[in-house]
Amino acid sequence: MANRQKTVYLCSECGCETPNWAGKCPSCGAWNTLAELRLGKDSAGRSSSSARGAKPKKLQELDTAEEVRFSTGISEFDRVLGGGAVLGSLILVGGAPGIGKSTLLLQMCAATAETRRILYVSGEESERQLKLRADRLGVTGGEIYVLAETDLDAILAAAESLRPEIVIIDSIQTVNQADVGSAPGSITQVRECTMRIMRLCKEKNLTVFVVGHINKEGSIAGPKVLEHMVDCVLYFEGERSTSFRILRAAKNRFGSTNEIGVFEMADRGLACVENPSEMLLSGRPENCPGTCVACVIEGTRPILAEVQALVTPSAYNAARRSNGVDYNRAAMLLAVLEKRGGLSVAGCDSYINVIGGLTLEEPAADLATSLAVASSYLDRPLGADLAAIGEVGLSGEIRSVSVLNQRLSEIYRLGFKRCVVPVHRSEEAASFSGLRLIPVRNISEAIAAVLARE
C-alpha cells in the first residue's frame, strides 16, 4: 500500500501549522491565511536533521568574539548593514520589481570581487541577460561566478564545490525543492528553501544575500516566518518614476534598524547620495504657501525633508490624503489645527506630501507638517529660510524632541536663518551664528509667530 502524504495547513502571516483548515488562524487571528501543505515522507523532518548531533554548552563557555565584517564597497549599503556585511549572515533584500535590487547586488559584486569569490545565482534571468546587464553597469573582472538555476539541490551543490565567500540568490521566489509538492514561490517552497539556505550559511560561514519580491501590501511575499529566519531584512523603496531610492533596514541582528541609505539611479547604475538633505531640498520653490522643512533623525543621521500641503475647499465630504506621512497622524494634526489652531480645515480637502519619496515616521515632523497645512490654508508663505522641529500633542502643545542640537547643526549647515523649536528645550539649544530660534509653547503661538500679517 502506498504511503499517504501528510497534509497540514500553514499560516502565511505567522507560520503556524494546524492539522485542519479554518477561516481564522488560531495563533495570530488573521483571516484566510491558512494554505494547504503536503509533506513528503522526509520533508517534515528535514529542517531538524542537521541538529541531531548538537550538544548543549554552558553559557559562560560560548565564544563572544566580535563578528567579522567586510565592506560591500558601497558606503550607503555599509551604513544600513551597520558597518558592513557580517560573515555567516543571511540577508534578505526586498523591494518592488524594477526598483534596483539586482542592480545594487551586482554593483556590490563589482566592488568586492577582487578580494572575495562570489556565486551569483539567477533564477529570473539567463546567463546572457545577466552578462549584458553587467556590461552595462561596468562590472568586469574578479571572481564572479554565475549560475542560472532554480533547483535548490543544484544550487547547494554548486556552492559546496565552488566554496565562495558570498552567495547571491535572485530571487527566493523562483527557487524550488524537488521533494516539496508545491509550485515555486508558494509558502511551502519559500519556507523550506530558506531553511536549507540558512543551514548552509551557518555551517559554511558564508554571507548569503537573498532577493525577495514584495506583495501589494508592501511586505515580503511569502510566509511571515521568512523574515524571522534571516539575520537582516532590507527594504529597497522609492517611486519608479523618480531617480532616488532609499534602502531601509526593517530587521538587523548586527546593527541598528533606523539607518537608511540613499541612492540615485543613473545610467551606470546606483550612485550613493552622501548628503541626502541637499538632494531632498533641491528644486524647492521660494515664497510659495504650503511648504515647510522638517528635520528628522534616521539612525544617527539628521535629514532635512520638505513637507508640502495643499488645502482647498471641498464640495463633497472632506477628503484628507497623505503621501509620506501616516494617514492617521495627518488626520490627528488636522483635528488639532481645527480645535486648537482656529483653522476651519474640516470642510476642506487636505493633501500632504513629502518630497523625494521619504516616509516621515518620527513625531518631530509634526510641527513642520502643521505649519505647512496652516500656510496653505491662509495662503501665506513661511519663507524659504524657515525650518520647524517639534511634536504636536492633542491639546496643541509643542513637545520637546531628542538630539535637538544635532538637528539644529544640520539646519544651520544648509543655510537656514530661522527655526521654530519647542520652548522647553530652547534654553538648552546651542547658539549658531545667523540662526534665529523661535521658541513656541503651542500650535497657536507657532502660527502667530511665522504666519501673522505684518
User: What confidence tens digit (pLDDT) does each residue in 382-417 have?
Assistant: 999 999 999 999 999 999 998 899 999 999 999 999
Both 130 and 92 in one domain: the answer is yes
Can you give the CATH number for the domain in which 93 is found?
3.40.50.300
Pair 84, 94: CB distance under 8 Å: no
Compute the C-alpha angle 273/277/281, nearest 5°: 110
What is the per-residue pLDDT for 21?
87
Whole-number pLDDT of residue 272: 93
200, containing H or E segment: helix 187-204
Residues 79 and 14 in one domain: no
Report CA torsion sign: 378, 436, 421, 351. positive
Residue 335 lies in a domain: yes
Q: Which residues make beta-bridge pairs with 397?
A: 442
- In the listed set 218, 243, 274, which residue is the last one of a domain according to the structure? 274
Q: What is the CATH number for 307?
A: 3.30.230.10
- Residue from 376, 393, 392, 378 nearest 320 by CA: 376
Domain housing 173: 68-274
Q: Is there a single domain that holds both residue 147 and residue 252?
A: yes
Say which residues have a Cβ less than 8 Å from residue 293's Cβ, sequence separation at least 6: 281, 284, 304, 305, 306, 307, 368, 386, 387, 388, 411, 416
What pTM was computed for the model?
A: 0.74
- Residues 342, 224, single domain; the answer is no
List alpha helices for 316-431, DSSP H: 327-339, 366-378, 404-413, 423-426
Q: Which residues of the chain have pLDDT under 70?
A: 1-5, 15, 38-54, 64-66, 216-223, 240-241, 317-319, 453-454
Is residue 49 domain-resident? no
Q: Are residues 20 and 35 in the same domain?
A: yes
C-alpha–C-alpha distance, residues 151 and 208, integer Å: 17
Residue 52 lies in a domain: no
Structural domain includes residue 47: no
Grid coordinates 503556524 are at which residue? Answer: 16
Element housing 136 (H / E): helix 127-137
- 118 and 215 fall within a common domain: yes
Q: How many domains does the chain have?
A: 3
**Whether 229 and 249 share a structural domain:** yes
196 within domain boundaries:
yes
Separation CA 144–CA 111 (nearest Å): 11
> Is residue 406 within 8 Å of 302, Cβ to Cβ?
yes
Which of 219, 247, 274 is a domain's end point? Answer: 274
Q: What angle do CA 19, 21, 23 make, to 5 degrees?
A: 145
> What pLDDT shows up at residue 119?
96
Residues 322 and 253 reside in one and the same domain = no
Separation between Cα atoms, residue 191 and residue 343, nearest integer Å: 53
Q: Are residues 297 and 227 part of one domain?
A: no
Distance CA(88)–CA(212), nearest Å, equals 19
Note whether residue 260 is domain-resident.
yes
- CB neighbour list of residue 241: distance below 8 Å, 6 or more residues apart: none
Of 229, 259, 274, the domain-final residue: 274
Closest by Cα among 180, 224, 239 to 30: 224
135 located within any domain: yes
Amino acid identity at 322:
S
Which pLDDT score, from 0 to 100, does residue 50 have?
A: 45
The answer on 244 and 202 residing in a single domain is yes
Has residue 352 been placed in a domain? Answer: yes
SS percent in the chain: helix, strand, coil, step 5: 30, 30, 40
Helix (H) or strand (E) segment spanning residue 450: helix 443-451
- 393 and 314 inside one domain: yes
Same domain, 228 and 371: no
Q: Give the start-end residues of each E strand in 214-347.
A: 232-237, 244-252, 260-266, 269-272, 291-298, 301-313, 320-323
